[in-house]
A and B are shown apart, each in its own frame.
Chain A
């Protein structure tokens, strides 16, 4: 596919200014440099700038501003709402991690590409939201049952013991009235314990029936989730294939890359890969760069064909 065609109407957006406001200053894109602005003490962390770019904009327009309070400075970025690809390559800094294929697939989507799996995936995701797993607490019922068996055994032993003592007293010709009262109380206790055990067993049976139904729903949700994950993998592979050549060319052209050019471009260092993917992508919101690969933010914005903040 042709880069010119794919990004043809984006040029205007890149030129469309974004605004960074910090410490009483107002800086206007498409290329903004936040370094050496107010001395090293006031340096704004690049991740703070990226968070300001990504923070939700009320109303979503270009003139809306929103900010993130850093530990020392507050920075507010008014810009277009960043797409999913910004999460991957919207902040390029030394030591960053990058899932190259996932990021490249997001870049393809930012260009409006789609995958043949999209429709089925969307309907699967819809179906997933309709799966309701009923609440089923079995732990309470298990806990309740757990002590009842030993309570019945103890009560039964007590009854047997008292029967023996009543018998012994009668044979010895002693008064058994007090002992018989005790025996009657113990028998009542046993009957109560047995009733409790039966009730606890029944409660657990009921809870387990509900739990089985809940597991059927969980099982259904799991199957749908597995299918969705497989489709996502296939869709990602499709999107990566669609941008593979363009990405390889971009990696080879990244300034300062130590990638030799004959290796696997998917093994490139994360910074080079991120810059290459940002070049392939259509970035509406500014990319925050914390690496020295370009002469300046303007050169970076030109190379990436995207708005840029150097932080």
Chain B
């Protein structure tokens, strides 16, 4: 999908207009951000916004997140186990230290 983020009131207004006019191209709009379909028409609209508002328009291409591909099982298990914890106020770092789940530092240093 194309992720369009706007950084000025003018750019936000133009994005809103584009989204209203081309509903079929928009997957979702959140205020000054929109997810567009991956079509040349969506790219054209996004590039039009950038031509008008310059770097007040950020365009990124997103890809679906597959947790079974992007991370190994320990990360998925840690997330599940932490959400099942018995002490709600327990920080994850402590939780990880008491078990064999990966510590937050390791997680931070591991790229997807």
Interface string of A219-242 (1 = CB under 8 A from B): 101100110010000000000000
Give, as a whole number of angstroms, the nearest-CB distance from B6 to chain A. Answer: 8
Contact in complex: B9, A222 (CB < 8 Å):
yes
Tell me the residues in window 35-71 of chain B with beta carbons closer than 8 Å to chain A beta carbons.
55-56, 58
The CA-CA distance from A215 to B7 in the complex, in Å, is 7
**Contact between B55 and A229, CB atoms less than 8 A apart:** no
Assign chain B's interface to a size class: under 10
**A226 to B32 Cα, complex, angstroms:** 12
A16 at the interface (CB under 8 A from B): no
Q: By DSSP majority rule, is chain B's interface helix, strand, loop, or mixed? A: mixed
Given A211-B55, A218-B55, A229-B7 contact (CB < 8 Å): no
Q: A221 and B55: CB pair below 8 A?
A: no
Tell me if B55 and A214 are in contact (CB < 8 A).
Answer: yes
Interface of A is mostly: helix
Are B9 and A229 in contact (CB-based, < 8 A)? yes
A218 & B56 in contact (Cβ 8 Å cutoff): yes
* Complex-state Cα separation, A225 to B55, whole angstroms: 16
Which of A136, A215, A218 is most buried by chain B, counting CB atoms within 10 A of its CB?
A218
Q: Is the CB of B9 within 8 A of A218?
A: no
- Quick check: is B74 within 8 A (CB to CB) of the other chain? no
Of the four ranges (under 10, 10 to 19, 20 to 34, 35 or more), the interface on chain A belongs to: 10 to 19
Interface residues in B11-38 (C-beta closer than 8 Å to A): 32
In angstroms, Cα B53 to Cα A221, docked, is: 14
A225 to B56, CA, bound (A): 13
**Chain B neighbourhood of A221, CB < 8 A:** 7-8
Residues of B within 8 A of A219 (CB): 7
User: Which residues of chain A are within 8 angstroms of B55 by Cβ–Cβ distance?
Assistant: 133, 136, 211, 214-215, 218
Among candidates B9, B32, B58, residue contacting A215 with C-beta atoms closer than 8 Å: B58
Let me know if B9 and A226 touch, CB within 8 A.
Answer: yes
Cα separation A218 to B9 with both chains bound (whole Å): 11
Compute how far the CA of A225 lies from the CA of B7 in the bound complex, rounded to whole angstroms: 10
A218 CA to B12 CA, complexed, in Å: 13
Interface residues of A (CB under 8 A from B): 133, 136, 211, 214-215, 218-219, 221-222, 225-226, 229
Task: Give me the 5 closest cross-chain CB pairs, A-B, nearest first.
Answer: A218-B7, A222-B7, A222-B8, A225-B9, A219-B7
B residues lining the A interface (CB < 8 Å): 5, 7-9, 32, 55-56, 58
